[in-house]
Structure 1
C-alpha cells in the first residue's frame, strides 16, 4: 500500500443542485471509469471499475470539502450527509449541505457555474503500470481509500514527483510492460493533477453525458 495522499480532478463535471426535504443537495460525479488522464509526467492514468468498491463497503469516513480545505466541511459520510455510490460510470456523490456560510457560498458559485469541477482525495491500495502498444505507460488504479470529495474552481496542472517519473523510466529501460500490483509502493503520489474526459467517443464519456441529461430533468 502507498501511504501517499493523491488528488485527481474531473474537468467539466456536471454539478447539479437540487432541494430535498427543504435541504440543498449537490450531486454529480467525482471520477469516471476507463477515461485516460492527461500526461502526468511520462505516464497517463485510468481509474478502473471497482476501484472504490472496498472503500464504500467499509463505510470510510469521507468528507465533502470546499476547495480541498479540511477546515470547511460541508457534508460527511459518517453522519450520512454525504452519499457515495459506484455505478457503471464512476464515483457518484450526493451531498446534503450544512447551513454554514461557506456551504451557502458554494451553492451560489455552483448555480452560477463559477465552480464546475470536482476533485477527490485518495490513497492507492493497488495500482498496476501497463505499457501499451504505442509505448504509452498507463497507471491503472484498481483499489483506493477515499478521503474527500471537493467541488472546486482551481484544478491543478498535471504534476508528478521525481520518484514517479524515475519509476516510469525504470520500467521502460527494463522492458517490463506490467509490473506487480505492488507497484504502488514504488511510485510516489501525484499531489495535484487533472483527470479529464479525453475522447467524446469513449463509452463512459457518453454514459456521463447521459447521466448529466437525466440529472437536468430531475427536481
Structure 2
C-alpha cells in the first residue's frame, strides 16, 4: 500500500490551442478552491498548496493522457525547459509549443476537433499536506501542500483517478471518525442508563 508523498492523478483544468495556425497549447492543470467531483470524498486544492519552489524542485513532463510510452510533448526540468509553468490566482497554468512530431500533430488535431478539452496533473502531497473532515455524512479533503509535480496532461477522458495514497489517507481518516462516533454513542448510552 502506498504512503503519503506518493503520486496521485487528478483531472481538473481546461486546455486550449490558440487557433488553427498556431502550435501553442495552454491550459490550467489545476484550479484552486474548486471542489472535485465525487472521488469517494470531495477534494479542494488551496491556493497556498503550490508555489514557485514546488515547480523548481519538480521534473514535470507534459504527456498525452498521462502516457510516457508515447513520448513527451514538453518538459520543465526544475523550472526550465520547453514547458512553461506559472501560478496565478486561478491555478497552475501551463504553456508549450506542440512539437512537430506525430504526437504533437495528434494533440493539435484533437484540440481543434474538440475531442480533447480538459487537463490533468499528477502530484504528491507533502507530509501533513492535507486536511480531512466529515460534514453531513460526506468526507472532504483539502490539499494544503503539494510536494512535487510529475506531469500535466491533456486527456481524452476526464476521470478522477487516485492512487492508493488518497484511498489510504481517506480510509485512515474514515476509521478514526467511525471510532469517535462509536465512542460518542457508547457515552450517550451510558449517560442514558445513569439517569
- TM-score over 0.5 (shorter chain): yes
Indicate if the aligned counterparts of 1:82 and 1:95 stay in contact, CA closer than 8 A: yes
- For residue 155 of structure 2, the aligned residue among 148, 152, 156 is 152
Q: Measured at CA, do residues 55 and 165 of structure 1 come closer, stay the same or move farther in structure 2, by a change above 3 Å?
A: closer
Distance 1:60 1:25 in 2: 23
Q: Measured at CA, do residues 115 and 130 of structure 1 come closer, stay the same or move farther in structure 2, by a change above 3 Å?
A: same
SS of 2:73's equivalent in the other structure is strand
SS of 2:103's equivalent in the other structure is helix
SS of 2:49's equivalent in the other structure is coil
- Tell me by how many angstroms 1:138 deviates: 1.4
User: Corresponding residue for 2:43?
Assistant: 45
Q: Please tell me whether residue 118 in structure 1 is matched to residue 123 in structure 2.
A: no
- Tell me by how many angstroms 1:134 deviates: 3.0
- Tell me by how many angstroms 1:164 deviates: 4.0
- Tell me by how many angstroms 1:59 deviates: 4.9
Distance 1:159 1:16 in 2: 25
Q: Measured at CA, do residues 99 and 123 of structure 1 come closer, stay the same or move farther in structure 2, by a change above 3 Å?
A: same
Q: Measured at CA, do residues 86 and 157 of structure 1 come closer, stay the same or move farther in structure 2, by a change above 3 Å?
A: closer
The structure with the greater share of residues assigned to helix is 2
- Tell me by how many angstroms 1:112 deviates: 0.9
Distance 1:132 1:169 in 2: 8
1:27-70 per-residue CA deviation (whole Å, 9 max, x = no partner) reads 111111111112222x21111102120312x2522111011111
Distance 1:69 1:158 in 2: 14
Indicate if the aligned counterparts of 2:131 and 2:144 stay in contact, CA closer than 8 A: no
Indicate if the aligned counterparts of 2:123 and 2:151 stay in contact, CA closer than 8 A: yes
Gaps of at least 5 residues in structure 2 are 182-195
Distance 1:134 1:46 in 2: 17
Q: Measured at CA, do residues 69 and 28 of structure 1 come closer, stay the same or move farther in structure 2, by a change above 3 Å?
A: same
- Tell me by how many angstroms 1:165 deviates: 4.4
User: Corresponding residue for 1:107?
Assistant: 108
User: Corresponding residue for 1:35?
Assistant: 34
Indicate if the aligned counterparts of 2:10 and 2:160 stay in contact, CA closer than 8 A: no
Instruction: Give the structure with higher Rg (CA).
Output: 2
**C-alpha RMSD of the superposition:** 2.5
